[in-house]
Chains A and B, each alone.
Chain A
Amino acid sequence: MPTLVSHPDEVKVISRRFGQGAANIDKYIELDGYKAVQQAIAEGPEWIINTMKASGLRGRGGAGFPTGLKWSFVPKQSEKPKYVLVNGDESEPGTCKDHVIFREDPHAVIEGTMIAGLAIGSKLGFIYLRGEYRYLLKIVEKAVADAYARGFLGKNIFGTGVDFDIITQSGAGAYEVGEESALMESLEGKRGVPRIKPPFPAVVGLYGGPTVINNAETIANAPHILLMGGEAYAKLGTERNGGTRLFGISGHVERPGVYELPMGYSLRKAIYEVAGGIKDGKKLKAVVPGGASCPVLTADEIDVGLDFDQMAKAGTMLGSGGIVVLDDTVSIVEFALRTIAFYQHESCGWCIPCREGTDWIKKTLTRVYQGGGNKKDVDNVQYLAENMMGRTFCPLGDAAAMPTLGFVKKFRKEFEDYIEGHKAGTPIITVQQLVGAGH
Chain B
Amino acid sequence: MSEVANTIFSPELAARFDHLVTIYPMRRSALVPMLLYAQDEVGYVSDAVVTEIAQRIGLLELDVRNVLSYYSMLRTKPAGKYNVQVCTNISCMLRGGYEILDHCKAKLGIGHKEVTKDGVFSLEEVECIGACCWAPAMQVNYDFHDNLTTIKVDEIIETYRAGQGKDVK
Contact = CB atoms under 8 A, between A and B. Distances in A.
Contacts of A391: none
B116 to A, nearest CB: 22
Contact of B91 (A2, A94, A132, A167): A94
Interface in A181-200: 186-193
B72 A251 contact: no
Given A81-B25, A251-B90, A324-B94, A342 B130 contact: no
B134 A324 contact: no
Interface string A17-52: 000000000000000000000000000000000000
B128 A250 contact: no
A207 B25 contact: yes
Interface stretch (A85-93, A146-154, A262-270, A419-427): A85-93
A133 B130 contact: yes
A132 B36 CA distance: 10
A132 B31 contact: no
A249 interface: yes
Contacts, number: 155
Contacts of A335: 90, 93
Given A94-B90, A167-B23, A256-B134, A132 B129 contact: yes
A327 to B, nearest CB: 8
B32 A338 contact: no
B132 interface: yes
B144 interface: yes
A207 B26 CA distance: 8
B77 interface: no
B133 A167 contact: no
B109 interface: no
A257 B133 contact: yes
B134 A170 contact: no
A63 interface: no
A175 B142 CA distance: 18
B149 interface: no
Interface in B1-36: 23-26, 28-33, 35-36
A128 B44 CA distance: 22
Interface string B65-88: 011001111100000000000001
A258 B133 contact: yes
Interface of B: 23-26, 28-33, 35-36, 57, 66-67, 70-74, 88-91, 93-95, 127-135, 139, 142-144, 146-147, 168-169
28 contacts: A1-B144, A1-B146, A81-B25, A91-B128, A91-B130, A92-B128, A93-B91, A94-B132, A96-B133, A99-B131, A131-B73, A134-B142, A170-B33, A171-B71, A172-B32, A172-B33, A172-B35, A172-B73, A173-B71, A174-B71, A187-B29, A192-B70, A207-B25, A251-B135, A256-B132, A325-B94, A335-B90, A342-B128
